[in-house]
Amino acid sequence: MAESGLAREILERVRACLPHGASHALHEPTFHGNEWEYVKRCIDTGWVSTAGQYVDEFENRLVALTGAKHAVATNTGTAALHVCLKIAGVQAGDEIVVPALTFVATANAVSYCGAIPHFADVSETTLGLDPAKLAQHLKRTTEKADGACRNRATGRRIRAVVPMHTFGHPVDLVALDPVCREFGLVLIEDAAESLGSHYRGRHTGTRGLAGALSFNGNKIVTTGGGGAVLTDSPELARAARHMTTTARVGTGWEFVHDQVGYNYRLPNLNAALGLAQLEQLPALLKRKRELAARYIKGFAEFRGARAFEAPEFAESNYWLNTLLLDADRAAERDAVLKTLNDHGVGARPAWRLMHRLPMYGDCPRMDLGVAEDLERRIINLPSSAHLA
């Protein structure tokens, strides 16, 4: 693939935003705090598994940081999403609205419940679910029957909507509220990428019935692998805690379980790492926002692409910075990606859209014009906090 003039110019601009160095990964964790000390304490004391003080401390710290009343730590963000859907009462055969532009875990969690993802389009302003377009689609294609919103084509109930805060940028949740009300949809937020992001002063993942966070190694804060369910409901938090600890009842030496549970609890070892990371969240956020500002400024006068800037109602964590190629330069996306990566700049395209994946090709969906357009134009740029 020949190196295009645009690719070269983008490479120079991106380099000018980054520190001097041979190569920069797309995203790397930053360990500058108490990580060693806390993890070592787990090993020294033998408390490495799913019981131990760090899991509770990690959850308490999440409550303080997000303003959610309850946080239940899980061993992946995918598990947290699965549990959110279960405690929201999602049943096999339900349809659940999810954006077509997302990481596959959003749709997979729906499938784990035996439910069917119903793919929705996104907005170019937020890169997340477009509430107005969803409302029009539901008006045209659903009917109310027995108090439920039914897809006229499939006859299935549409029970919930799962907006995802793409690359950390909050979805316009106030605009989504009336849509949820009108069609009786439960709101569950996939906030896997948006720890530290606020929407109109409120932390992402705390507006709906429940929200899921991820602490995978590529996120702003990592536990190695991990996640959490956020909710304000004590009953739902209790249900989530029970479900994630194999639904074990009693604390004696007998193993008794009262439902089909999951082994989803976050181990103490991971929580220890995560607690040390959470202590540094304000500093990490500051650096990530500084790096984003540098990209935005660096591409402000550029012809051919711009760095995505979150709308003013959003306070984004800028987990992954995004370059949006102009529509008439979309054909050069792969050449730009190749040039960047050939020169040590870790860049990647957006995820393959959900309805293009073999297992989700037959799922219901609305017109996905914006997601399809963005898929051709998105390039994620190196975003590690230490690059600021």
Ligand X SMILES: Cc1ncc(COP(=O)(O)O)c(C=O)c1O
The footprint of ligand X (CB under 6 A) covers 76-78, 81, 102-103, 105-106, 164, 190, 192-193, 214, 216, 227
Cα–Cα dist 243/284, whole Å: 32
Provide the minimum distance between the beta carbon of 204 and ligand X in the complex, in angstroms, as a whole number: 11
Tell me, what amino acid is at 174?
V
- Closest CB to ligand X among residues 299, 308: 308
**CA dihedral defined by 301, 26, 199, 297, rounded to 10 degrees?**
-20
Cα–Cα dist 194/344, whole Å: 27
Provide the minimum distance between the beta carbon of 222 and ligand X in the complex, in angstroms, as a whole number: 9
Assess contact for 264 and 74: CB atoms under 8 A: yes
- Closest CB to ligand X among residues 72, 164: 164
Cα–Cα dist 361/343, whole Å: 36
Cα–Cα dist 322/115, whole Å: 32
Dihedral sign, CA of 10, 12, 17, 21? positive
Provide the minimum distance between the beta carbon of 306 and ligand X in the complex, in angstroms, as a whole number: 23
Cα–Cα dist 340/12, whole Å: 9
- Closest CB to ligand X among residues 17, 87: 87
- Closest CB to ligand X among residues 59, 190: 190
Provide the minimum distance between the beta carbon of 73 and ligand X in the complex, in angstroms, as a whole number: 12
Provide the minimum distance between the beta carbon of 364 and ligand X in the complex, in angstroms, as a whole number: 20
Where are the extended beta strands (E) located within the chain? Answer: 70-74, 95-99, 116-120, 142-145, 148-151, 158-161, 186-190, 198-199, 202-203, 210-214, 227-231, 248-249, 256-257, 305-307, 314-315, 321-325, 348-349, 378-381
Provide the minimum distance between the beta carbon of 74 and ligand X in the complex, in angstroms, as a whole number: 9
Count Cβ neighbours within 10 Å for each residue of 86-105 and write b for 16 or more, e otherwise: bbbebeeebbbbbbbbbbeb
Within 8 A by CB and 6+ apart from 331, the residues are none
- Closest CB to ligand X among residues 192, 307: 192
- Closest CB to ligand X among residues 185, 228: 228
Provide the minimum distance between the beta carbon of 335 and ligand X in the complex, in angstroms, as a whole number: 26
**CA dihedral defined by 81, 86, 90, 96, rounded to 10 degrees?**
0
CB-nearest residue to ligand X: 77
Provide the minimum distance between the beta carbon of 351 and ligand X in the complex, in angstroms, as a whole number: 9
Provide the minimum distance between the beta carbon of 308 and ligand X in the complex, in angstroms, as a whole number: 16
Helix spans in 25-95 (H): 35-45, 53-66, 77-87
Tokens encoding 321 = 């910075």
Classify residue 346 by burial, with Cβ atoms within 10 Å: 0-12, 13-18, 19+. Answer: middle
Helix spans in 88-211 (H): 104-112, 131-141, 173-183
Provide the minimum distance between the beta carbon of 76 and ligand X in the complex, in angstroms, as a whole number: 4
Tokens encoding 210 = 């429940």
- Closest CB to ligand X among residues 35, 190: 190
